[in-house]
Structure 1
Amino acid sequence: MTTSTQYQCGNCGWRGIEAEMHRIDDIHDRVSTGELMAAGECPSCGDLISVADEDVPDYTLQIVAKIMRKRGWLVTPAETEAAETGTLRVRIEADLERLRQVSQEPVLIRYGDQVQVEIRPKTDDDRVTVVHGSLGFVVANYQDDGVAIDVADGEGDIVQTMTATEF
């Protein structure tokens, strides 16, 4: 039976419905006892996939923890927090990947009161830029032969460049 539930690959970001997924032939070799059972195999990269995070209500973890406590399980806030953190990380990674795919120009994402992170289009390189208000910015340029770090002042002038050999 097919469903309209959306699934998402945590590896490549592929999204689709159950009918588009591949069957997991070697399920017992790929899912260990105690792990969350995968819904299928990604048709794009072959990784295991599960229900997309936004299809799982935000309160699901709290409900599951409450049921487990009633049945005698010891569920600590740290375990619940770790599960929620993992879920958020997967969702953010997928959203960032999608943003990189659809954007034509770099996009600034607020990270803190004064800090922003620049997200570059997928067609650009993998450089990372972190901007801090009027203090300036730092760019990490990842290249085949290593990394170069550019430090700029509040005016945008590069004041120092470091390479992987200088660290």
Structure 2
Amino acid sequence: MLTRPRGTGVLALSPGRLALLALLHSAVVTWVLSARVPAGMTPAGRSVTAAAGLGHHGQSAVPGPPPICAEPLPHLVGTAVLAAHVAMVLLVGCVLLVREVLRRRGKPHDSLPVRFGFAALTGVAAVVMTPLVASISLGVLPSFRQFLVDAAVVGRYAFLLALVLTVLIGLPWRLHLPSPAPFPLS
């Protein structure tokens, strides 16, 4: 019987698992940022602020949110699509970083500490993408206090989602073992 040394093979990226993780991270960011849409831009708030107009000082120097914020469904879909693209790029970076660290240290590619570390790293990636997506979808960066609150919520939920997903369906890479060379029959 042929035996292969443990851990030899090629770690291949699993795009389906990675896409699922990116979509869930984008849903978390979209959910948290949807609470930051100014009240004047929601359908209920437009009726209250429409009568106020611009005031006697004219337009302010602070840019407001983009006009798409006035329509909740397109705004949420657009924010989710933007967040999914950013999440996919950051998650591929996380996968490459974890795989390189595992390769250099000669550690097994699938263990509980690896899953926990990968989930923590993806939580950090979700925190990093929060201000980027917020600045584009809301038009302005939130205050530092709001950023810390939003980042803590996004990081917590993204970490928990990544941990549950890696436990249930595995890490977004798999080990492909090379097929053994056939024995000559003669």
Using the size of structure 1 for normalisation, the TM-score is: 0.28
Q: Which is richer in helix?
A: 2
Higher RCO structure (Cα 8 Å, ≥6 apart): 2
Larger Cα-atom Rg: 2
Using the size of structure 2 for normalisation, the TM-score is: 0.26
